[in-house]
Amino acid sequence: MKRNYLVGYDISDPKRLQKVAKVMKEYGSRVQYSFFHCSLSTAQKKRMMDRIRTFIREDEDQVLILPVTETQLKEMEFIGLKSRLDMEGVLIF
């Protein structure tokens, strides 16, 4: 069973930032510059986390993986630019 996650990161080094962004593009849809929506099985989440750990420095960088329900996704609100969730074809009912 897949679960929804919002994944955000603050990576201090530009090279590490690019590597983490590349991994994240394989697992989810970009919502903002360093913020992704992912729908992952437990195994996929573990693989994603393992891959991210190979690139970050835990004493300098931070990655937040926040589980969200379908209801919470539906209730998301945006101020400003249109939601990238909508632009990338992720449907929110």
Annotated binding site for Mg(2+): 10
Are β-strands 62-68 and 35-40 bridged in parallel, bridged antiparallel, or unpaired? Answer: unpaired
Sign of CA pseudo-dihedral 6, 27, 1, 77: positive
H-type alpha helices, 1-93: 14-27, 42-53, 70-74, 84-87
Counting every residue written for the chain, the total comes to 93
- Binding-site residue numbers are 10
